[in-house]
Amino acid sequence: MAKPKVLFLCTGNSARSQMAEGILRALAGEHFDVFSAGTEPKGGILPEVQEALREIGVDTNLQWSKSVMEYMGKVNFGYVVTVCSDAEENCPAVFLNMGTHEHWPFDDPAKFAGDVESRLRSTRVVRDQIEERLRLWLAELNIKPHDYRQM
């Protein structure tokens, strides 16, 4: 049986959707094929996001910033989750009408100001909020997540 496909969407595909992709894969990757994309991809993952994920044992080496258009007409998603209001408003309707659509807005690490350490601290907060929301969602689906964190 094929695993349901999950798409996390944001604007730049450089932070929130990347965190959701990596964390869901770590929590329950055997249950889903996990993807992320942006309506206006930035071309890379923010260094603070890579560090925040690395700290908890999530490897981003196989993730990259990509456009939602790469999936247009090619992939049918069982779940589409927008993680920012801009993606919710600007995503092609075909994706929002596909499968189960949810909107989980989070603060944007790409907009955090300050020095590297303060941006990293704020990114960790968003990372943990995303993980908490994913754990709630998995509980709704009766899926027991892995205890993957490496401290």
Helical ranges in 29-115 per DSSP H? 47-55, 85-90, 93-96
Contacts of 18 (CB under 8 A, 6+ apart): 36, 45, 49, 53, 60, 63, 65
The distance between the two most distant Cα atoms of the chain, rounded to a whole number of Å, is 47
Q: Which residues are catalytic?
A: 10, 84, 91
Count Cβ atoms below 10 Å from residue 72 Cβ, excluding itself. 12
Of the CA atoms within 13 Å of residue 117, those in its CB half-sphere come to: 0
Total residues found in the chain within this entry = 151
**CA 141/CA 143 separation, integer angstroms:** 5
Beta-strand (E) ranges in the chain?
5-10, 33-38, 79-82, 100-103
